[in-house]
Amino acid sequence: MADPILYRDANDTVVLIDIPTSIEYAQQNHLILASVPPPEVPYSSTEPRGNKRAVALARIPAQERTYHSSVQCLIQESLAKIKTSYIIQVIDGQSCSWHRPRRYLTGGDATTDSGFGAARALPDEFRSVTDGSLVHPILVPVILSSTELRNEFPSLRAVQDVIVRNPRPDSSLMCLQGAGGFWVPPHSTCIQSSLEEGWEAFVNGIPVLQTPKCRSFDLILMDPPWINRSARRSGHYETAETQMTNPFNTAVQIVKTHLVPDGIVAVWITNRAAIRTTVLDTFRALNLELHQEWIWIKITADGEPVTQLDGIWRRPYEVCLLFRKGQCSDNKPRRRVLVAVPDIHSRKPNLKCLLEQQLPPRYEALELFARCLTAGWWSWGNEVLKFQHESQWGLPDTTDCPRSLEGRT
Give the Cα separation of 337 and 395 in Å (integer).
32
* Residue among 255, 267, 271 at smallest CA distance from 333: 267
Mean pLDDT, each 10-residue run in order, the chain (409 residues): 94 97 96 95 93 94 96 98 89 83 66 35 41 56 96 93 96 94 98 96 90 83 84 50 77 97 97 97 97 98 97 96 86 94 94 97 97 97 94 73 37
User: Which pLDDT tens digit goes with each residue over 228-257?
Assistant: 655 444 455 455 455 557 999 999 999 999
Phi, psi values for residue 120, rounded to 5°: -70, -20
**Count of CB atoms within 10 A of residue 385's CB?**
26
Domain spans of the chain?
Answer: 5-407
**pLDDT at position 124, please?**
44
* Domain 5-407 is found in CATH 3.40.640.10: no
pTM for this entry: 0.88
Give the Cα separation of 87 and 71 in Å (integer).
22
Give the Cα separation of 409 and 95 in Å (integer).
14
User: Which pLDDT tens digit goes with each residue over 271-310?
Assistant: 999 999 999 999 999 999 999 999 999 999 999 999 999 9
Structural contact between residues 225 and 381, judged by C-beta atoms closer than 8 angstroms: no
Structural contact between residues 82 and 339, judged by C-beta atoms closer than 8 angstroms: yes
